[in-house]
């Protein structure tokens, strides 16, 4: 037996409590909602009045009258019928128009809150997320809010109101039998719909999960387009995507068959009730206890009540799914960031921009320590470099300084202020970074640079471009600095993207500068030009540089050499060479590699 690929819990209760969480978003438009409810009642009164007018039209036409009377009486009734139908539609349209703004504003506010909340969540959440599935959850949740608010308030409630009015009128005018048939049919219909919908919810959830899975797979593959091409794995990606699509197809098939059972059962209830009502009404006309107008009225009422009731079954199914989607959205909102500001956190006050790590221990997991008792100081205006083997923990220091994570032990201070005690916004405002892997927005080069300071003038952006030595490259492009860089900047080379990142930092001009392998993708000539720009930009600023090429940091005031999460050596370039230790071995190895590369380039 094949194992279900998308396990769900069909007995999971309907999360009706979600409705209470939506109420605060309705308070802004109390008057508009009240007016919409009045239109709702008016529309239903007009709807219930139409069958009575139709009854009198038929009865009057059936009586023996003079030609003028026959013409006059039904004409007035027909006009009244037309006005009631107009008011029914008109009040409904006004109601939907009034409440439309309420729904759209609620969707806007919730969508914005989710967006802001996602940006507040910590780096660990975003490293483990599935972008495609997450985007679908948000989309389905916000769409579900609109559906729930629109149909719950203006379809389910009006339908139940109309059912109550019709049952009462039938009981008053025609006795208990007609009212009992309608009421029993409604109760049985609703009960069957609820039970059947509860049963088939598992298939709806399977479709949603399969939809999210296939979407995540497609987006993940497309985001890694170059990697797929590098390893010739187009067929492999297609097979994996087709496996997910096969699961989606199977889930859709089960969902469709279960829907057939539900719709068939509902149709049987409606047909049985309508047949019973018509038989009783026809018998009444034959016995002379009812008129033909009564027969028409009961027929109209029966059709009128079961048409929205049939729609009610669809609405209930959709509302159940919408509630589940909204619940997922609110669960996302309930996620608390692992890194949060303390209550009433003050802003970071930067005077000297001195950085101090004090006995810092850190590991991404409890069973693997990355940093072990790290202590060092970057004094005001100093340039401190961090070098060492891959995996030594160099980039982790940057993440801790940005407070993407908090140390397990120890603390980090800027101008003697523990960065855990100040607001994250003010902390990151004081730091500029040129990362090793620069990711750009799918926008122009100009706007990607201005992203560092959105209120910067055009002249300031152009000056940053010039200082980052991007001007010659931009001048060679047909569209200049309005050239689009593609998704994640894929249209630019690694070196070009790094220059854009450098221009960003130049434009931001923060008191603290971080360079994480900032020249690793540049050729020697470009590297020298960028290093000159670094010197100009970092003059008077505190700089922390992570470097692979030791030649780029020989002018550093202090060089920290890391190995296995510890600082094993520190000092300036000359003193470290004199120690003839780890740094000296690394320096001589790089110099030897450079000499061999130069000799190979000189050979014809």
The β-bridge partners of 295 are none
- The helix/strand count (H/E) of the chain reads as 19, 10
Q: Shortest CA distance to 142 belongs to which of 320, 326, 330, 14?
A: 326
pLDDT at 570: 92
Confirm whether pTM is higher than 0.75: no
Residue pair 96/40 in contact (Cβ under 8 Å)? The answer is no
Query: Beta-strand (E) ranges in 90-233?
Result: none
Question: Which sequence spans correspond to the domains of the chain?
Answer: 18-334, 355-602
pLDDT at 346: 92
Report angle CA 14, 125, 201 to the nearest 5 degrees: 20
Q: Which fold has domain 18-334?
A: ABC transporter transmembrane region fold (1.20.1560)
Between strands 542-546 and 512-516, the pairing is: parallel
What separation, in Å, do the N-terminal and C-terminal C-alpha atoms of the chain show?
68
* String of DSSP letters for 237-285: HHHHHHHHHHHHHHHHHHHHHHHHHHHHHHHHHHHHHHHHHHHHHHHHH
Q: Please state, in angstroms and rounded to a whole number, the distance separating the CA atoms of residues 554 and 96.
A: 71
Between strands 409-414 and 355-362, the pairing is: antiparallel
pLDDT at 604: 52
- C-alpha dihedral sign at 392, 397, 400, 406: positive
List pLDDT tens digits, range 265-287.
888 888 888 888 888 888 888 88
- What would the CATH number be for the domain defined by 355-602? 3.40.50.300
Residue 215's SS3 state is helix
pLDDT at 520: 60
Put the strands of the sheet holding 542-546 in their side by side order.
Answer: 431-434, 512-516, 542-546, 383-388, 558-563, 566-571
pLDDT at 599: 60
- C-alpha dihedral sign at 173, 179, 181, 185: positive
Q: Please state, in angstroms and rounded to a whole number, the distance separating the CA atoms of residues 186 and 436.
A: 66
Residue pair 360/400 in contact (Cβ under 8 Å)? The answer is yes
pLDDT at 354: 92
Q: Shortest CA distance to 91 belongs to which of 148, 151, 158, 31?
A: 158
Residue pair 381/405 in contact (Cβ under 8 Å)? The answer is no
Which residues of the chain are modeled with pLDDT < 70? Answer: 1-17, 62-74, 128-133, 152-155, 309-314, 317, 518-539, 597-604
């Amino acid at each position: 037996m094949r194992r279900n690929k998308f396990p769900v819990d069909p007995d999971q209760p309907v999360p009706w409590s979600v409705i209470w969480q939506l109420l605060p978003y309705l308070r802004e438009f109390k008057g508009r909602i009240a007016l919409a409810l009045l239109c709702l009642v008016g529309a239903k009164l007009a709807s219930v009045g139409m069958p009575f007018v139709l009854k009198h039209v038929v009865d009057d036409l059936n009586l023996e009258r003079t030609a003028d009377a026959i013409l006059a009486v039904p004409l007035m009734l027909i006009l009244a019928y037309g006005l009631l139908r107009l008011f029914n539609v008109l009040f409904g349209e006004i109601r939907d128009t009034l409440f439309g703004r309420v729904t759209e504003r609620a969707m806007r506010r919730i969508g914005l809150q989710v967006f802001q909340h996602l940006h507040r969540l910590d780096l660990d959440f975003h490293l483990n997320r599935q972008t495609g599935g997450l985007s679908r959850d948000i989309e389905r949740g916000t769409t579900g809010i609109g559906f729930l608010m629109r149909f719950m308030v203006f379809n389910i409630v009006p339908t139940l109101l109309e059912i109550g009015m019709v049952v009462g009128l039938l009981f008053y005018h025609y006795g208990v039998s007609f009212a009992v048939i309608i009421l029993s049919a409604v109760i049985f219909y609703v009960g069957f719909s609820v039970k059947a919908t509860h049963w088939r919810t598992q298939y709806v959830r399977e479709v949603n999960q399969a939809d999210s899975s296939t979407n995540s797979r497609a987006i993940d593959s497309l985001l890694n387009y170059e990697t797929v091409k590098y390893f010739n794995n187009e067929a492999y990606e297609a097979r994996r995507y087709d496996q997910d699509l096969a699961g989606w197809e199977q889930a859709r098939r089960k969902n469709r068959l279960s829907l057939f059972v539900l719709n068939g059962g509902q149709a049987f209830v409606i047909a049985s009730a309508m047949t019973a009502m018509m038989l009783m009404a026809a018998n009444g006309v034959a016995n002379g206890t009812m008129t033909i107008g009564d027969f028409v009225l009961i027929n109209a009422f029966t059709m009128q009540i079961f048409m929205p009731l049939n729609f009610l079954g669809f609405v209930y199914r959709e509302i159940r799914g919408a509630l589940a989607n909204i619940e997922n959205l609110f669960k996302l909102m309930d996620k608390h960031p692992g890194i949060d500001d303390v209550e009433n956190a003050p802003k970071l006050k930067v005077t000297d921009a001195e950085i101090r790590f004090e006995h810092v221990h850190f590991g991404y997991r409890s069973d693997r320590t990355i940093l072990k008792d790290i202590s060092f100081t970057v004094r005001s205006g100093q340039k401190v470099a961090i070098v060492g083997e891959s995996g030594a923990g160099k980039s982790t220091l940057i993440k801790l300084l940005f407070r993407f994570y908090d140390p397990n032990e120890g603390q980090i201070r800027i101008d003697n202020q523990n960065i855990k005690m100040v607001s994250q916004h003010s902390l990151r405002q004081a730091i500029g970074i040129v990362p090793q892997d620069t990711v750009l927005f799918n926008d122009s080069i100009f706007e990607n640079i201005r992203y560092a300071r959105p209120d910067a003038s055009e002249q300031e952006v152009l000056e940053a471009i010039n200082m980052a030595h991007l001007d010659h490259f931009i001048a060679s492009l047909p569209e200049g600095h309005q050239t689009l860089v593609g998704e994640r900047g894929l249209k630019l080379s690694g070196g070009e993207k790094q220059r854009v990142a450098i221009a960003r930092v130049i434009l931001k001009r923060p008191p603290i500068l971080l360079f994480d392998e900032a020249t690793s993708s540049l050729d020697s000539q470009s590297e020298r030009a960028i290093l000159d720009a670094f010197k100009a930009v970092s003059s008077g600023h505190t700089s922390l540089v992570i470097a692979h090429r030791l030649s780029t940091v020989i002018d550093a005031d202090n060089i920290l050499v890391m190995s296995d999460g510890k600082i094993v050596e520190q000092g300036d370039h000359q003193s470290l060479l004199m120690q003839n230790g780890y740094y000296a071995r690394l320096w001589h190895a790089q110099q030897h590699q450079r000499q061999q590369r130069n000799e190979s380039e000189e050979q014809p």
